[in-house]
Amino acid sequence: MLNDHNMRSNRADGYNYLIDETIKTNNTCLISLMWMSPCSKIIRRDIVNGIKFEEIRYSNDNVFSVAIACNATNIEVKEESFYMITQSDNSLTSNFLQKEGELECRTGAMLRAFYIAKRKGKDISYYFETLKSFATKLHRRNWKLYTEYLSCLNNEGISIMQMIREQYKDKDRLHRWKGYLNTFFHFYIERIKFFFANKRIKDSQITLLL
């Protein structure tokens, strides 16, 4: 049902595409892992098994959806339409990634969902393009999360240098090199901070044990 304030959202187009591709290829990972939302999904209660939405403002359903997908042993796709996605000017998905704190919130949720799928042995290559996209948006805005994204992709065999080159591919030679040095500087500063933060935690654990 639509009212004067809510219109049909074009987000449904992407979901419909994944459903069509799933039916064509019989690859249920497209809707269970790539479609990181419970929208338009009917889920058996026993699969949920205590899994909850995260208590965050944006993307609070990402971890829930991926964890549910990892628990599912049988996934079926129906072409019937029974759910309509609408949009309004004041919704959480309007002006995507433009609101204060939204980028950090969504990228953090994406990383947590990725790590769940990886621990469960799922095909995590579905997330690489999204991870690259978020890393590009995080560049210069949040060095800590940007570093975590680069490290995550590097652990999966994607070159950090390749990622950084993509950030500056449209710049002239001087600005490219300045950008490379600046990015690597912040990247390794964050890695050093992470190392010493972990060391302090381990040292405090040793003290408690003593």
pLDDT value, residue 205: 45
Domain end point (choices 101, 122, 143): 122
User: pLDDT above 70 covers what percent of the chain?
Assistant: 81
Task: Give the residue numbers spanning the domain of 144.
Answer: 124-210
Q: Are 101 and 161 part of one and the same domain?
A: no
Is 80 exceeded by the pLDDT of residue 20?
yes
pLDDT digits (tens, 9 = 90+) for 117-133: 888 888 878 777 777 78
Is 80 exceeded by the pLDDT of residue 82?
no
Q: Are 95 and 30 part of one and the same domain?
A: yes
Q: Are 38 and 68 part of one and the same domain?
A: yes
Q: Are 139 and 64 part of one and the same domain?
A: no
* Both structure tokens of 104: 């950090």
Query: Bridge-partner residues for 8, per DSSP?
Result: 86
To the nearest whole number, what is the mean pLDDT of the chain? 77
pLDDT digits (tens, 9 = 90+) for 168-209: 888 888 888 888 888 888 888 888 887 777 655 444 444 444
Contacts of 104 (CB under 8 A, 6+ apart): 142, 145
Domain end point (choices 122, 141, 157): 122
Which of 33-42, 59-68, 90-99 has the lowest average pLDDT?
A: 90-99
Cα–Cα dist 110/39, whole Å: 17
User: pLDDT above 90 covers what percent of the chain?
Assistant: 0
Q: Are 77 and 20 part of one and the same domain?
A: yes
Domain end point (choices 103, 122, 141): 122
Q: Are 9 and 113 part of one and the same domain?
A: yes
Q: Are 118 and 183 part of one and the same domain?
A: no
pTM of the predicted protein model: 0.71
Please say whether the beta carbons of 101 and 80 come within 8 A: no
Number of domains forming the structure of the chain? 2
